[in-house]
Amino acid sequence: MVSDGFSPKTHSGLITEFGREYVLTGKIDPKYSKVLSQMRSIRKNCDYDVLYYTNREEMEPILITVRELIELIVERIFSPNGSWLDAPVITNHLITIPPASRQDSK
């Protein structure tokens, strides 16, 4: 978001700007905005509710979507022109760096 000129100061600001800039414009699937909100809610519950527990059934679908979002972000970072629309389609849930984009470790 920073490379697109956005610098939200809060979690809710990030979610709002993400939705406005990427979801409402059709650049990204709305499910990613929803998962950001879900993760924020879970984090708040874990921080402030002493009796809050989560389980695999609750977290697994969320984490799969989060992995997809991370993959999209990585693809955008390494896309030649940095466009969401030019990023390749996700074929799995693994984070991989395209070979042409890897930096030599020398």
Q: Is-contact 5 23, C-beta < 8 A? A: no
Number of folded domains that form the chain: 1
Q: In this structure, is residue 49 part of a structural domain?
A: yes
Residues 6+ apart with CB under 8 A from 64: 93
Domain that holds residue 93: 2-101
Q: In this structure, is residue 65 part of a structural domain?
A: yes
Please report, in tens digits, the pLDDT of each residue of the chain (106 residues total).
666 777 778 878 888 888 888 888 888 888 998 998 888 888 888 888 888 888 888 888 888 999 998 888 888 777 766 555 554 444 444 444 444 444 444 4
For residue 76, what are its two tokens? 């955008």
Q: In this structure, is residue 10 part of a structural domain?
A: yes
Claim: this prediction has a pTM higher than 0.85: no
Q: In this structure, is residue 106 part of a structural domain?
A: no
Q: In this structure, is residue 12 part of a structural domain?
A: yes
**HSE of 57 in the Cβ direction (CA atoms, 13 Å)?**
1
Q: In this structure, is residue 30 part of a structural domain?
A: yes
